[in-house]
Amino acid sequence: MLKLSSCSDSICELEHFVQSISDKYNIGPDRYPDILISLTEAVNNAIIHGNGENRAKKVLIAHRYRKQNGLTFEISDEGKGFDYKSIPDPTRVENLEKCGGRGVFLMRQLADRIKFANNGRTVIINFNV
C-alpha cells in the first residue's frame, strides 16, 4: 500500500509505485501507460477534489493481482465524497472547452472496469493484464 500526502509532489512517488508494480507483474508497454495515466488522474482527483490539497490528509493506494481478475487498484481519500453518478460528459459540446472534467472519463476509457465506493471517496480501477 502507498500512502501519499495531498500535494502535487506526491505524483512522483506514484510513478515509482506504478513502475515497481509493472515490473513485478510483467506489465507490458501496451498497458503500462493506461495504468499510469488512470492512477495519476485518480490520485490528482483525490488530492485536489477529495482532500482539498490539505497535506495533512492522505491518499491511500492499494493494489491486488489475481490471474483471473487482473490488476486492481483502490484509491481512497479523506474527503466528503461526491456524486459520481452525475459527472458531466466532457464530450458534450458545452463541456469541450472547459479546463477540467476529463479525469473520470479518461479512467473509464483506459481501464477495463471502474467503480466508486464509500460515497465517492474510493475509486476501484481494474485492468485485465
- 54 closest CA partner among 11, 15, 8: 8
Quickly count: other Cβ atoms within 10 Å of residue 104's Cβ.
19
Confidence label for 128 from pLDDT (cuts 50, 70 and 90) = very high
| Residue 110 in this model has a pLDDT that exceeds 90 | yes
Mean pLDDT of 88-113: 83
pTM tops 0.85: yes
Quickly count: other Cβ atoms within 10 Å of residue 38's Cβ.
25
Q: What is the pLDDT of residue 87?
A: 79
DSSP the chain: -EEEESSTTHHHHHHHHHHHHHHHTT--TTTHHHHHHHHHHHHHHIIIIISTT-TTSEEEEEEEEETTTEEEEEEE-SS----GGG---TTSGGGTT-SS--HHHHHHHHSSEEEEEGGGTEEEEEE--
- Domains of the chain, earliest start first: 2-121 (3.30.565.10)
The three cell numbers of residue 124 are: 476501484
